[in-house]
Structure 1
Amino acid sequence: MSVESIYRPAVLASIAVCMLSFSARAADLTVTVDGLRNANGTVRLELDGSEAAWNNKAKATAMGNVKASVGAVSYTFSNVQPGTYGLGVYQDENNSGKLRTNLFGIPKEGYGFSNNPSVMRMPTFQEVQFTVAEQNTTVLIHLKHGI
């Protein structure tokens, strides 16, 4: 038995402990959505951690729902890993599970995005992205109303 074989398990265990201590800690992400005109239905939130997820080519990081209330509602995503994210929300007034639009694609229900971009189209991931670090993060989204 060599000296190397005696110390190898201890060295590997020490490295594993160090790696765990340096790993990023998850944080809570609290989203406040304001501009709700009524208390109908549910506010639906989608947290995307990549451009592919934002463009519906990959799975969302997390989804959330909260009962609508006149004025504003809040929802907290727990244990979000540090990284770059984008948020999309809408008020599903009739609880259909999808954003209702007219023939021209203009939303009939309130909708919004992180960073509240002023665009007349679906914003890009770069326009909505924000960072979650190791501390708790808050985001405010103002609902827009189409028709």
Structure 2
Amino acid sequence: MGKPHRIAWAALDHAVITCADIEKSVAFYGGGLCMAINRLDDGRVEATFGRCKLNLQPNNRHYGPPKNAGRSWSANICLLVEHGLSHVESHLKEIGLRIEEGPVERVGAQGTILSLYLYDPDGNLIEISEYLSHAEKI
């Protein structure tokens, strides 16, 4: 077998979210969360933020490996902000998006984070977080 290999993880590159209504999802991620939107010719939409992206794909459409045909899934993802979670909270409230919980302290990949939780139009749990080293403790 030999020596086990280590994987040098760097950051989230992308996540795929299946969407019941692609236009509602574009409005949520592009309008509500202010991500850049790029529409692809095959019906998918890329929502980019910083060095990461979310691939939004219409429900009941096949993309990727053949074994994905007919499958759909939901997502639970954590999106990091450098600083300014209170600004994000104010923005979400101002545009009428419901915050389910937060701000609350949680444990992130690299330490303690301060998080807000909300759901996207497809019921995916979206956690928006900031490392406490960048925020004031609650």
Bigger relative CO (Cα 8 Å, ≥ 6 apart): 1
Higher Cα Rg: structure 1 or 2?
1
Q: TM-score, normalised by structure 2?
A: 0.24
Q: TM-score, normalised by structure 1?
A: 0.23
